[in-house]
Structure 1
């Protein structure tokens, strides 16, 4: 599959700790383990022309992964609309961690997408609540991250089509941390873990979830539908 990993790539330039954890950027780390699956993976970042998301790049993409945090407001509305249309046309979209506040996710959700948060090295336990879902294939009932940023309810999103994960945090909060949606012909998966100062994307189970999510969100071979006024496919008899 053709997979594009988009990252604003700002923390890596501003915070030496992030650079140490992700020397090739968060996008580079994610692209690396997806290439191991045999996918054709490209990366794109905020400061590239058209944010690296040209019409050709998106037209060829089966799945787009999105990580943003510091610079949501800098994403051009033209590019947001371009991504939105591609999702409606069938491109899969995986929104990671603080991408919950991205323009594209809020546009697709139609809500504010706000939440509670805390940086205090909370232990996170991710519970699988839909064991039949393809995104959790190969996982146990739960897995843990030793340290992560806490996100807590209420998470201002529409009721998910499918709730895949719920997280519990050491400080006591819970969070709907894995949620799927269908928008037009496209599938959307929001996955919570991934704060930039923790090595979350080096975690085996996190990588497994993202690999599974890429396979699930891709809508390969879906039929192309025609909208608007159409000619009949059968001859219509003349009625008196």
Structure 2
């Protein structure tokens, strides 16, 4: 699988607390465990030309993993349009944590994607809502994270095709933390955990979910349907 891991890479450069957890960037941690899974992995960050997402990069991307937080509005609309078009044609998209508010995700969802949040180091338990789903292969009944940022309902997204995880926080809130969508020929998985000040992406179970999701989101091995004016057989 050809995977591109995209990250703003701002927090890691500007905040020592984040740099202590991810010294080379969140994208490098994710890229590393995906490479160990046998994938062909490249990375891209916000401050590169074309945000690292040139046509050449997208041409060799089967699945795009996206992490963003503080600079969503700096992503150029032209790049957002390109990513959306690739998803509709079959590129998989894994949307992590606060990338729920990215231009890319909001454009594909068609809603505000807003929610409640609180950064207070809550304990989080991710309950597996569909134990038959390939994204939770190798995962027990739940994943527990000692500290995470709280996200709470109502989460303004369209009704997901599938609910994979439902999360409970020690403050009492719940959240649809793992949800799948299909747009055109492309598969999308939103996965909630991953606040930058916590070592979430070092957690083996979280890594397993992302590995599974990348495999699940692979482009379909089918021909694109014929659309528009048609004068072939059958007429």
TM-score (norm 1): 0.96
> Which aligned pairs between 1:148-163 and structure 2 lie closer than 5 A?
148-163=148-163
SS at structure 2 position matched to 1:159: coil
Greater Cα radius of gyration, structure 1 or 2: 1
TM-score (norm 2): 0.98
> Which aligned pairs between 1:41-190 and structure 2 lie closer than 5 A?
41-190=41-190
Q: Considering only aligned residues, what root-mean-square deviation do their CA atoms show, in Å?
A: 0.8
Gap regions ≥5 residues in structure 2? none
Aligned residue pair count = 235
For 1:182 and 1:116, the matched residues in 2 are separated by 25
Range with bigger deviation, 222-231 or 108-117: 222-231
Name the residue aligned to 1:213: 213
1:231, distance to aligned residue in structure 2 (A): 2.4
SS at structure 2 position matched to 1:210: helix
1:88-123: per-residue Cα shift (whole Å, max 9, x none)? Answer: 000000000000000010001100000000011100
Q: Is 2:226 the partner of 1:222?
A: no
Q: Is the 8 A contact 2:185 2:220 kept in 1?
A: no
For 2:231 and 2:7, the matched residues in 1 are separated by 44
For 2:223 and 2:196, the matched residues in 1 are separated by 38
Structure 1 residue ranges (4+ consecutive) displaced by more than 3 angstroms after TM superposition: none
For 2:115 and 2:21, the matched residues in 1 are separated by 26
1:60-112: per-residue Cα shift (whole Å, max 9, x none)? Answer: 21000000001000000000000000000000000000000000100011000
Range with bigger deviation, 74-83 or 218-227: 218-227
> Which aligned pairs between 1:224-239 and structure 2 lie closer than 5 A?
224-234=224-234, 236=235
Q: Is the 8 A contact 2:123 2:145 kept in 1?
A: yes
Gap regions ≥5 residues in structure 1? none
Name the residue aligned to 2:11: 11
For 2:224 and 2:57, the matched residues in 1 are separated by 20
Q: Is the 8 A contact 1:62 1:220 kept in 2?
A: no
